[in-house]
Amino acid sequence: MEIPYLVEARKDTGLFNSKIAIWLFLASEVMLFGGLFSSYIFLRIYADYPWPERSLPILPGYINTFVLIGSSITVVFAWAALKLRKYGWFQLWIGITIACAALFMALKGIEYNVKFNHQAAQHLDGTIVEGHLSYAKLKDGIVKYPEHKKAKAGHGDSHDSHDKAKDSHAAPSGYEKIPANVINFSTNELSINLKTYVENKKRIKFLNDQAAEQKQELVSVETGEPLTLELLDKARKDYRANFAHNEDLQAKWLREAWDKAREKDSESPNWKLARTLKVEPNPADPELKTVVNTLKFKTKSGDPVVFRFKPTEVREYPESAILKGGVALSGKLLRSPLILHVDGLDFRALATAAEALGKEPMEEIEKSWIIQNNPDIAKIWHAHLKDIEKLTKHLEERGQEPNEVDLYRLNWKEIVAYLEGTSPNDIKDSLVEKFKGPDYYKRHFPEVTLERNQIHFESKFTPRWNNFYAIYFIITGLHGLHVIGGAIVLFYFGFRSRKMYESNPTWLTNRVEVAGLFWHFVDLVWIFLFPVLYLM
Amino acid sequence: MAGDSPQEIMKAVKFYCIIGACLFGCTVLTVSVATVEFFDRGARGFDTFDMVLGLLIATCKATLVAAIFMHLNHEKKMIHWIFFGSLVMALIGFLIFYLAFWDPISFEGFYLG
């Protein structure tokens, strides 16, 4: 059976079917992206932290806008070529459109990669430090962090910073290079929560609630016995059998108690409404098979072992650590600093907190930990204050005054310039730097060491960092998936449609028109996305 | 929208090129308004004026794409109803944040004492 109205229009609508269908689909897409834009508006208006306005490099989005607009033009050229029955030109224009889509996704991929490798940390006093992780050295399981001599305040030496930055990029022979952001924990005892291990056979997960006190060893484990999968599997099977037994018993007592209560008052209409019935498990306690909730393991010699974890894998405390998979360790948190080459400083949160307390923001920033303890940062900040005076005079002529970003946020050009003793206007960034951010091997950045107990929160520039990045990745990621989907459809029509062109060219033209409508919509979304995310 | 004759189609193609150039120009204008100090009117940096101007330019670009490239200027009324109807619903969705200021649900005795 042939599908009707693929070429000729329906009499009631005056349109061929796929046109109405694609417009209905686009209406649903408008609602989809509209919902996401609405979320962006909501998150921005009610953000309880300084919104990172205009913090994204503009060049990637700028180029991508040109690429997508260009692809919109080429897709309509492809449709026109089909209407003129020029199949070769049609394929050429579709090929250029798909190339534009590939370029768009490649640029987006580079942009995402830059963000995923960029680190941020917030100090307890609210100062936000941004940059790239420095490196530590690892040999025989021992982590060595670079030691810096504390120079006198106001005498920060940019050459020292540069040399140290160079050192931290290389590890000497015999050492392995690791990012200077690991949690080092020393322990000789770890315990595994069995309930979550049982619920998920493949991985051990942490469970917040602990069940009743153990009365009987479920699995006998010798101190120093190695942790094996067979041992865990045996514990899992025994745990399940005992848990099922306990559940059966409790269900049986519940039924018996319910029947007794009903016998006593069988005429009451409340039986239909009753929701709870208390059963005391204690009388049945001896019949319960006790469920062992944790297996504990100790090192064979009793000596502690140093574990290294990524910060996202563990919640660490001075004397205990809990892994994401559900293993708890008790021991000692060793020194686990986060060492950054700083390319961004943001004092806005600290300034806002100071104003809320009725204090002078600039005075509080001067007292901040990073300025008091890092002479390079202090030098940069004081140079910035001098530039603020000049900026204020310049803006007064325009009837404006410096905003919070001017006053409290320093970008990489300012940091590099002030460290070198020059002006940010003298820093000329290359095209690659405009796209990807500063070149860490060419530029000199101050190094900051944050001890673990000074860090309020740290993350790469991922959705985890703040909800601006969360909504940014969601919207641009979903848009990127639409670009990929549209490109796949266009590829099919461009390079797998010879037979359809020869048998029914008008049908192919209509299909290409419909695919083009979807492509234009993808461009339309980006037309709004770019200014909203990158320029506002 | 391009008719069926080759002349009409070629005329439409030239028109698409002009519209494409306008879109490129508007993109340059959008970035200039946001980055060049000369265009920074009102308060320093990003303010309501910048937001309105940026969204206005984006709306102009979107209108050109929708009207010319997506042929909305020649389409039947049904298509207009479908598309603009969803657009109105999305715009209403943008105002959801206002519910945080105005709570439409209230009843007597909600505030005790």
Residue from A151, A181, A154, A182 nearest A164 by CA? A151
Lowest mean pLDDT among A251-265, A267-281, B66-80: A267-281
Say whether A136 sits in a helix, a strand or coil: strand
Residue from A500, A435, A476 nearest A68 by CA? A476
- pLDDT at residue B67 greater than cutoff 90: yes
Domains of chain A by residue range: 22-118+464-535, 122-136+161-169+343-460, 183-333
Chain A closest-CA separation from residue B44 CA (Å): 6
**The total number of residues written for chain B in this structure:** 113
Chain A closest-CA separation from residue B110 CA (Å): 25
- B66 and A400 within 8 Å at the Cβ level: the answer is no
Domains of chain B by residue range: 6-75
B99 in A contact zone (CB under 8 Å): no
Q: What are the backbone angles phi and psi of residue A472, rounded to the nearest 5°?
A: -60, -50
- A34 and B93 within 8 Å at the Cβ level: the answer is yes
- A34 and B94 within 8 Å at the Cβ level: the answer is yes
A500: tokens are 């359809």
Q: Which of B44, B58, B66 sits opposite A395 (nearest CB)?
A: B44
pLDDT score recorded for residue A272: 59
State the pLDDT confidence band at A259, using cuts at 50, 70 and 90.
confident
Per-residue pLDDT tens over the stretch A182-209: 888 888 877 776 665 665 554 433 333 2
Per-residue pLDDT tens over the stretch A510-529: 999 999 999 999 999 999 99
pLDDT score recorded for residue B94: 86
- Best to test chain A binding among B47, B61, B74 (most A CBs inside 10 Å): B61
Dihedral class, residue A400 (left if φ above 0, else alpha if ψ from -120 to 50, else beta): beta
Q: Which of A54, A402, A528 sits opposite B58 (nearest CB)?
A: A528
pLDDT score recorded for residue A266: 72
More confident of the two residues A495 and A195: A495
Q: Which CATH superfamily is domain A22-118+464-535 in?
A: Cytochrome c oxidase, subunit III, four-helix bundle (1.20.120.80)
Percentage with pLDDT > 90 across chain A:
51
Provide, as residue numbers in chain A, all residues whose Cβ is less than 8 Å from the Cβ of B44: 395, 400-403, 406
Q: How many CB atoms lie within 10 A of CB A434?
A: 13
pLDDT score recorded for residue A153: 39
Whole-prediction pTM:
0.82
Mean pLDDT (whole number) for A309-316: 88
A465: tokens are 């960092």
Per-residue pLDDT tens over the stretch A108-152: 999 999 999 999 999 999 999 999 998 888 877 778 887 654 444
pLDDT score recorded for residue A154: 39
- Best to test chain B binding among A55, A73, A394 (most B CBs inside 10 Å): A73
pLDDT score recorded for residue A205: 34
Per-residue pLDDT tens over the stretch B69-108: 998 888 888 889 998 999 999 989 888 777 777 766 666 6
Chain A closest-CA separation from residue B15 CA (Å): 11
Lowest mean pLDDT among A142-146, A264-268, A433-437, B52-56: A264-268
Lowest mean pLDDT among A109-118, A376-385, A427-436, B55-64: A427-436
Residue from A144, A117, A152 nearest A131 by CA? A117
pLDDT score recorded for residue A155: 39
- pLDDT at residue A282 greater than cutoff 90: no
- A41 and B97 within 8 Å at the Cβ level: the answer is yes
State the pLDDT confidence band at A223, using cuts at 50, 70 and 90.
low
Burial class (CB in 10 A: 0-12, 13-18, 19+), B22: middle
The average confidence (pLDDT) of chain A is 83
- B90 and A34 within 8 Å at the Cβ level: the answer is yes
Complete DSSP assignment for A381-442 = HHHHHHHHHHHHHHHHHTT----HHHHHEE-HHHHHHHHHTS-GGG-PPPHHHHHH---TTT
Q: What share of chain B is helix, strand, coil (3-state, %, to 5)?
A: 75, 0, 25
Lowest mean pLDDT among A408-422, A474-488, B92-106: B92-106
Q: What are the backbone angles phi and psi of residue A327, rounded to the nearest 5°?
A: -95, 135
pLDDT score recorded for residue A253: 79
Mean pLDDT (whole number) for A9-26: 87
- pLDDT at residue A16 greater than cutoff 80: yes
Q: Which of A15, A76, A403 sits opposite B16 (nearest CB)?
A: A76
- pLDDT at residue A366 greater than cutoff 80: yes
pLDDT score recorded for residue B20: 95
Chain A closest-CA separation from residue B87 CA (Å): 7
pLDDT score recorded for residue A216: 42
Residue from A234, A242, A239 nearest A287 by CA? A242
Dihedral class, residue A402 (left if φ above 0, else alpha if ψ from -120 to 50, else beta): beta
Contact B84, B67 (CB under 8 A): no
B54 in A contact zone (CB under 8 Å): yes
Chain B closest-CA separation from residue A139 CA (Å): 49
Lowest mean pLDDT among A216-225, A238-247, A258-267, A413-422: A216-225
More confident of the two residues A460 and A151: A460
B6 in A contact zone (CB under 8 Å): yes
Q: How many CB atoms lie within 10 A of CB A202?
A: 5
CA distance readout (Å), A32 to A39, A306, A436, A500, B93: 11, 49, 30, 33, 11
Q: Which residues contact A222 (CB under 8 A, 6 or more apart)?
A: none
What is the rounded distance in angstroms from the CA atom of residue A107 to the CA atom of residue A436?
Answer: 10
Chain B closest-CA separation from residue A34 CA (Å): 5
